[in-house]
Amino acid sequence: MADKNKLQRKTGIILALDVTDEASALEITAAVADLVDAVKIGYPLVLGTGLSIVSKLSKYAPVIADFKVADIPNTDHLICEHVFKAGCAAVIVQGFTGPDSLSECVKTATAFDGKVFVVSEMSHPGGSYFFTDEISKEIAGLSRKYGAFGIVAPATRPERVKELRAVIGDDLKIISPGVGAQGGSAADTIKAGADWVIVGRSIYNAENPRDEAMKVKVEIEKLI
């Protein structure tokens, strides 16, 4: 079972838990807890259950709040305070809001000993429409400059993971969504330089979520 609050790389898998009811959320998390290093939650689950779900999930694994925080610094601060007071280990924020918003998120997270991941480029096909290669790299550079713990980079484009890794060096972590349902491969993404792959539907919609998580774990282990 993963350490309650500490984000540590063991399996290299983060579960994206986008189910919308508490019973399923807890059942799936319990089934895969020892196979994942963290559980990522977002609006679907939190709007469905409330933020109190965080303390329940934290018993199994560190929780990352994927709220893609993207506002003025004061509002970002208020959002991040809620996230960390609820017990999350990390928050995902947008970087396009600029240095002041980004640094406010990092400042608030740090006050709670929490971490910030910054979306550098999104994984869906439209994700590179506004986020050109140059803008993504700039966001990655800003993330490093302002003390983020890591960035979010697309498993659907491993070549971009590689390029963004070159921008941030080894100082920051990379978490990569897009494995499974969106077509990305866990092995290719880790090989390109990601620390963790984020896997949602292909695990939580599977008939046996544990078997699916185990498959991803074995795929990553084979790389070592």
Binding site for substrate, residues? 18, 40, 66-75, 123, 177-187, 200-201
Does 201 bind ligand FNU (CB under 6 A)? Our answer is yes
Which residue in the set 140, 198, 213, 220 belongs to the binding site for ligand FNU (CB under 6 A)? 198
Does 180 bind ligand FNU (CB under 6 A)? Our answer is yes
Ranges of H-type helices in the chain: 22-32, 43-49, 53-58, 73-85, 99-111, 127-130, 133-145, 158-168, 186-192, 201-204, 209-221
Helix, strand and coil percent figures for the chain, each rounded to 5: 45, 20, 35
Which residue in the set 152, 167, 172, 213 belongs to the binding site for ligand FNU (CB under 6 A)? 152
Does 136 bind ligand FNU (CB under 6 A)? Our answer is no
Size of the site for ligand FNU (CB under 6 A): 20
Residue 113 among the catalytic residues: no
Rounded least distance, CB 108 to ligand FNU, Å: 20
Does 135 bind ligand FNU (CB under 6 A)? Our answer is no
Residue 34 among the catalytic residues: no
Residue 67 host element (H or E): strand 63-69
Residues in CB range of 38: below 8 A, 6 or more apart: 2, 7, 14, 15, 61, 62, 63, 64, 89, 90, 196
Query: What is the spatial distance between Cα 90 and Cα 113, in angstroms, rounded to a whole number?
Result: 9
Which residue in the set 182, 188, 190, 194 belongs to the binding site for ligand FNU (CB under 6 A)? 182
Restricting to residues 38-57, name those near ligand FNU by CB under 6 A: 42
Query: What is the spatial distance between Cα 61 and Cα 58, in angstroms, rounded to a whole number?
Result: 5
Looking at 34, 56, 71, 107, which residue is catalytic?
71
Looking at 56, 68, 107, 191, which residue is catalytic?
68
Residue 170 among the catalytic residues: no
Catalytic residue ranges: 66, 68, 71
